[in-house]
Amino acid sequence: MKMGELFQTGDWKNEKHVPAIDCPDSVKADEPFEITVSIGKEIGHPNTTEHHIRWIRVYFKPEGDKFAYEVGSYDFTAHGECAEGANKGPVYTEPKVTTRLKVNKSGTLLATIYCNIHGLWENTAQIKVS
């Protein structure tokens, strides 16, 4: 088995674990732009002590390149846990990140997430450089 075979995918509008990638379709070369990756955009994810998103990773694979480049790695560590018990803590993380980047080639953004119950999920979005 290969690592890529462990990732699940789907339509984020119908499956709460698929990362939704909000980004422009087209950008200018070397000009910064924002992307937002979220989980549970249409169907809420519980984000409880028992069931939560641990991390989001974002990559960019330029057209024609062999390798993808890691854009960012975002960990979520507050899931309502505390000494009083599960879901009694004072803070819960919402799995959503916004970051700025710039690219000089068209390519593919890849977002991956890990749910402690339902494993690895991925999604992609195309970016054209003008």
Which residues belong to the active site? 15-17, 45, 51, 115, 118
How many Å apart are CA 128 and CA 130, to the nearest integer?
A: 6
Contact between residue 47 and residue 113 where contact means Cβ atoms under 8 Å apart: no
